[in-house]
């Protein structure tokens, strides 16, 4: 196994595109790059959590527009936290995605 912080950083940033790219990067490199398994799991858990939160917010749009505020906060979180964690990964720190449901352990 080798340590490659740049690939870890790119994996965090790739989730800005969609869920498939980090999933593929994690699946291919989880046994080759040190800490990729932990970073990949946290990315996938975060993305799956955001999808569930959006699904919850859709019916809430009908209830005084609360879902619109929720979706807005989810979109902001989906941009800000990957960037913060990409910087952390480049510095050799552990990722931290708040409000994440742990699907993959």
Structural domain of residue 22, as residue ranges? 5-90
Please check whether residue 98 lies inside any domain of the structure.
no
Q: What is the mean pLDDT of the chain?
A: 91
Please check the confidence at residue 1 and state whether its pLDDT lies above 80. no
The model's pTM = 0.90
Q: How far is CA 3 from CA 30, 36, 38, 84, in A?
A: 11, 9, 13, 20
Q: How far apart are CA 2 and CA 100, in angstroms?
A: 28
Please check whether residue 40 lies inside any domain of the structure.
yes
- Express each pLDDT in 25-73 by its tens digit: 999 999 998 899 999 999 999 999 999 999 999 998 888 788 899 999 9
Q: How many domains, in total, are found in the chain? A: 1
Please check whether residue 54 lies inside any domain of the structure.
yes
Please check whether residue 56 lies inside any domain of the structure.
yes
87: its two tokens: 């910087």
Encode 67-98 in three state secondary structure.
Answer: HHHHHHHHHHHHHHHHHHHHHHHHCCCCCCCC
Neighbours of 57 (CB within 10 A): 18
């Amino acid at each position: 196994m080798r340590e490659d912080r740049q690939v870890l950083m790119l994996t965090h940033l790739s989730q800005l595109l969609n869920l498939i790219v980090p999933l593929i990067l994690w699946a291919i490199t989880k046994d080759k790059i040190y800490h990729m398994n932990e970073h990949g799991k946290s990315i996938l858990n975060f993305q799956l959590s955001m999808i569930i939160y959006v699904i919850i917010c859709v019916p809430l749009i009908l209830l005084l527009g609360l879902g619109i505020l929720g979706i807005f906060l989810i979109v902001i979180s989906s941009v800000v936290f990957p960037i913060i964690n990409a910087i952390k990964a480049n510095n050799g720190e552990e990722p931290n995605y708040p409000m994440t449901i742990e699907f993959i352990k």
